[in-house]
Structure 1
Amino acid sequence: MTARILVVDDVPANVKLLEARLLADYFEVLTAVDGPSALNVCAATQVDLILLDIMMPGMDGFEVCERLKANPRTAHIPVVMVTALDQSEDRVRGLRAGADEFLTKPVNDIQLMTRVRSLLRLKALGDELRMRAETAELIGTQDLINGVDGMDKAHVLLVDERVSAQERVTRMLAPIAEVVCMSDPQAALFEAAERPYDLAIISDNFTNYDPLRLCSQLRSVERTRFLPVMLMAEAGSQALVTRALELGVNDYIQRPIDPHELLARANTQIKRKRYNDHLRSSVRATIELAVTDALTGLYNRRYLDTHMPVLVERSSKRERPLSVCMIDLDRFKSINDNFGHQAGDDVLRELSRRIKQAVRGADLACRYGGEEFVVVMPDTDGTLAAAVAERLRVSIEAVPFRVNGRAEPLSVTASLGIATLKDGEAAASSVFQRADEALYTAKRSGRNRVVAAAA
């Protein structure tokens, strides 16, 4: 996982220590010595996560965090406060300011890196949802970012075998949530899958059960994949917490539980869940109508033309590769002429299904027009893109296409052209033009092949 991390601390030794640790894991590191400098960096460049000291001259870390979270352009950047302060009230104040985590110096390396990776995974998911929603001009949700005040009470599922602990946590969460308590982890899994919860809190204090198994199962089941999960752990159980974060647990709180800290952490997870749910709902409802091809279910040319410049700009800023694959069915007109347009439609639908199977979820697959399709592959160089294209070409050729009203399936082939974004290239049209030229080279040289544009 590559990302750009900003380290903010007025003590050079602290900056160097964190910088060395992050560079060792191949993260890109930016630094700032005070709050105003940190805000300027975030305004000027893409930042994926901030490690923020609290005790700084002038503007302290609490104020920096509040300003970041109040700005729509930086509100989604995860903030980890790294400080010598270790009092409960300091931690709660940081969480209420919008921080995603509060780590006390000296920071354990494993704890730090596990939390960094966990927060970056969450940010990547949120970034993709926001970018797709912004493409369709759907975002109007700043009220959700700012908190859950004025909204219906949240629904929280608490899994703990001790009735006394269930009662205490329920009282703590009463101001913001209705809590359903369960003692049986497996029954809780079914409950979470059947009812819409905003947060699941799982205790580690089971007599004969590994709580991480339930955490893993919640991440594996489709209906609970995006449900925020918080682990309640005993103080000092760092190995368990580290493993939980690696499995996809969103947050944790250690005993003895501070009611204010629990409320702050739960609030953060609930508002993030509701915000992302809103984005998913908006994207599904509106994009499917406006920018989805009705025949194939893929995105259409309108969406591609709008979204592609965003992908190119992001790849250029992050200096990451991006490849485009153009796909054209060979002699498709003869299918329509010989077997009818219904048969042609069946072939296009089946081709779309095979394209979806051949590419990753992060790739953008579109129907470009007629029998021509486009796959945009972020973070993919030319060599890997060519391998994906060849796998798709083989899948088209190897299995004939079945069409309604015809007993014998049709043999179909396709030609594919590949182009990769060049260093400094900022126009989506140029990479499309090179992919299109590569496609026509494939057509002219015999069809049913993959051709890559010259770098």
Structure 2
Amino acid sequence: MQGTILVLDGVSTNRIMLKVQLTSAWYRVAQGDRVDGLLPLLRRVRPDLVLTAMFLPDGSALDVRALMQTDETLADIPVVAVAPQNDRAARLRALAAGLDEVLVQPYDDVLLLARIRSLIRSHANTEELRAQGGPQALGFAEPAAGLLAPAPAASVALVTRKSGTGAVWRSKLRTLTRHRLNIHRLDDIHSLLTEPVPDAIVMELGAGGKGLNLLADLRARSATRHAAVIAVPEPCNPNLAAEALDRGADDVMPAGFCADELALRLDTQLARKVRSDGYRASVRDGWRAALTDPMTGLHNRRYAMPALQRIAASARDRGASFAVMLADLDHFKRINDQYGHPAGDAVLIETARRLRTALRPSDIVARVGGEEFMIVLPDTGRRKAQHMADDLCQRINGQSFTLPGCGKPIPVTTSIGLLVSEPGAITLQGAEDVSGLIEQADRALYVAKGAGRNQVSMIQSAA
């Protein structure tokens, strides 16, 4: 099944017809006929979309939307209304009230199903982002899901077949929106695909596949993948609108350009984009936090181990060398005991800075223990690895550390266990082999500690 749709209509024959149509498209269908008692029904069914008649025996589609807004678990579910006649003013009021679409009877079946697919897909993507790392998942408060805050002034590209059409659209929209409007011709979109990328794109679709091909291209490009796209078939063409939705348009205007309606749809789509961008940023920040040591800003063990496995596998496949170091600060406990933990933290932070500035961009340095650091050097043989390890030792012991609350700088040294893997020295079957590499580097570190500290001990990887 593709999802669950709740059909609301006071006329039983209408509900039956929609159920037959939607069931044949592999949707589960639940039914209701009024606003009264709707909340318990919604909570029980948990639909992916609500398809309601504009007018119900005890209310309207606007009442349905308002009721759903009172429960944040329901507030973001898409709502599509079916109106008995083309009342432009009523349609605009419905869109302004938060309905996702208003279709007029007799509506086009192909367009209805395309609109349902598009809205359910968008809703599912939003819910997935929220589950992965939205503000609530990270422990922060968040407004109810469906309460979209107005988007700040944004950049909107008007893409039309003729520049004159774009000029007319911009002229009519200027007094209705605060967003910045820029004109682009469909035949000359180079500037559209270069920085800065617009936040929203309003695209005229006409005969031929150029507009649809551009739409697919926009969705395939990383720079424009998350731009809000509204397609405007000119002249009115429900089939073209339906195909635009299936190609990735966020919204369509099946009846053609209407400035008042487009301004409303722009505000809605841009507000959704702001929210989705926020969720994506939360996901990125969450992953970054999960893979970063908060004190030093270096990578942590969770990041370093898979990275080592990738570097080792690449070296094996290319017949290249790589090196692994474990660096441990000597007598670090004494620093904490004598000067306090803030001083110890300062030593760790400064050590991380010195290690990071000594390494190449391709190298990896991670804090993997209290005072232990792992360094991975791709494409590095014995001589180069030895030189770099000696340099790291010198960078730590060559200049004393200035500590908070301490009258004079104190000397700090480090011991380094160095493992160098030459071509053919490792088969690398999985994570166990990576752990074996760490164990070998740890043995080398133990030798350096036993030999008096403040030095490097190197071994070659065992096969």
TM-score bin, normalised by smaller chain: 0.5 to 0.7
- Matching residue of 2:286: 286
Check whether the contact 1:186–1:214 (CA below 8 A) recurs between aligned residues. no
Which of 423, 448, 452 in structure 2 is aligned with 1:407? Answer: 423
Aligned-pair CA distance for 1:70: 5.1
- Matching residue of 1:187: 189
Check whether the contact 1:62–1:94 (CA below 8 A) recurs between aligned residues. yes
- Matching residue of 2:93: 93
Listed as ranges, the gaps of 5+ residues in structure 2 are 293-298, 307-320, 327-418, 432-463
Q: Quote the Cα distance in structure 2 between the aligned partners of 1:8 and 1:192.
A: 43
Length-normalised TM-score, structure 2? 0.62
- Matching residue of 2:8: 8
Q: Quote the Cα distance in structure 2 between the aligned partners of 1:204 and 1:197.
A: 19
Aligned-pair CA distance for 1:197: 2.2
The structure-2 alpha-carbon separation of the partners of 1:234 and 1:97, relative to structure 1 and needing over 3 Å to count, comes to same
- Matching residue of 1:202: 203
- Matching residue of 1:44: 44
Q: Deviations over 1:314-349 (max 9, x none)?
A: xxxxxxxxxxxxxxxxxxxxxxxxx999499xxxxx
- Matching residue of 1:129: 129
Check whether the contact 1:39–1:64 (CA below 8 A) recurs between aligned residues. no
Identity across the alignment (%): 24
- Matching residue of 1:252: 252
The structure-2 alpha-carbon separation of the partners of 1:34 and 1:229, relative to structure 1 and needing over 3 Å to count, comes to same
- Matching residue of 1:162: 162
Is residue 2:46 matched to residue 1:22? no
Aligned-pair CA distance for 1:234: 2.3
SS at match of 1:240: helix
Aligned-pair CA distance for 1:181: 0.9
- Matching residue of 2:64: 64
Q: Quote the Cα distance in structure 1 between the aligned partners of 2:145 and 2:120.
A: 23
Q: Quote the Cα distance in structure 2 between the aligned partners of 1:105 and 1:409.
A: 73
Check whether the contact 1:8–1:38 (CA below 8 A) recurs between aligned residues. no
The structure-2 alpha-carbon separation of the partners of 1:225 and 1:90, relative to structure 1 and needing over 3 Å to count, comes to same
Aligned-pair CA distance for 1:239: 2.1
Give me the CA root mean square deviation. Answer: 3.2
Match runs of 1:275-424 below 5 Å: 275-290=275-290, 294-295=300-301, 297=303, 342=324, 405-408=421-424, 410-413=426-429
Q: Deviations over 1:113-167 (max 9, x none)?
A: 111111111111101011122332245255993331xx53121011113333222
Q: Quote the Cα distance in structure 1 between the aligned partners of 2:71 and 2:117.
A: 24
Aligned-pair CA distance for 1:246: 1.1
- Rg bigger for which structure? 2
Which of 146, 155, 160 in structure 1 is aligned with 2:148? Answer: 146
Q: Quote the Cα distance in structure 1 between the aligned partners of 2:140 and 2:286.
A: 8
Check whether the contact 1:170–1:179 (CA below 8 A) recurs between aligned residues. yes
State the 4+ residue runs in structure 1 displaced beyond 6 angstroms.
none
- Matching residue of 1:176: 178
- Matching residue of 1:445: none
Q: Quote the Cα distance in structure 1 between the aligned partners of 2:276 and 2:155.
A: 16
Aligned-pair CA distance for 1:183: 1.4
SS at match of 1:222: coil
SS at match of 2:152: coil
Q: Quote the Cα distance in structure 1 between the aligned partners of 2:213 and 2:186.
A: 13
Aligned-pair CA distance for 1:274: 0.7
The structure-2 alpha-carbon separation of the partners of 1:43 and 1:281, relative to structure 1 and needing over 3 Å to count, comes to same
Structure holding more helix per residue: 1
Q: Deviations over 1:94-124 (max 9, x none)?
A: 1111111111123322111111111111111
Q: Quote the Cα distance in structure 1 between the aligned partners of 2:103 and 2:261.
A: 14
Q: Deviations over 1:8-54 (max 9, x none)?
A: 11111111111111111221111111123333222334221110111
The structure-2 alpha-carbon separation of the partners of 1:46 and 1:64, relative to structure 1 and needing over 3 Å to count, comes to same
- Matching residue of 1:211: 211
Length-normalised TM-score, structure 1? 0.63
Check whether the contact 1:198–1:270 (CA below 8 A) recurs between aligned residues. yes
SS at match of 2:55: coil
Q: Quote the Cα distance in structure 1 between the aligned partners of 2:289 and 2:167.
A: 46
Listed as ranges, the gaps of 5+ residues in structure 1 are 301-338, 345-402, 416-455
Q: Quote the Cα distance in structure 2 between the aligned partners of 1:34 and 1:92.
A: 23
Q: Quote the Cα distance in structure 2 between the aligned partners of 1:18 and 1:299.
A: 54
Check whether the contact 2:49–2:79 (CA below 8 A) recurs between aligned residues. yes
Aligned-pair CA distance for 1:205: 4.3
SS at match of 2:156: strand
Q: Quote the Cα distance in structure 2 between the aligned partners of 1:230 and 1:6.
A: 26
Q: Quote the Cα distance in structure 2 between the aligned partners of 1:142 and 1:295.
A: 36
AA aligned to 2:201 is A
Q: Quote the Cα distance in structure 1 between the aligned partners of 2:17 and 2:145.
A: 38
Check whether the contact 2:69–2:146 (CA below 8 A) recurs between aligned residues. no
Check whether the contact 1:159–1:181 (CA below 8 A) recurs between aligned residues. yes
SS at match of 2:248: coil
Q: Quote the Cα distance in structure 2 between the aligned partners of 1:279 and 1:120.
A: 18
The structure-2 alpha-carbon separation of the partners of 1:298 and 1:278, relative to structure 1 and needing over 3 Å to count, comes to farther
AA aligned to 1:135 is A
AA aligned to 1:410 is I
Check whether the contact 2:62–2:94 (CA below 8 A) recurs between aligned residues. yes
The structure-2 alpha-carbon separation of the partners of 1:291 and 1:63, relative to structure 1 and needing over 3 Å to count, comes to farther
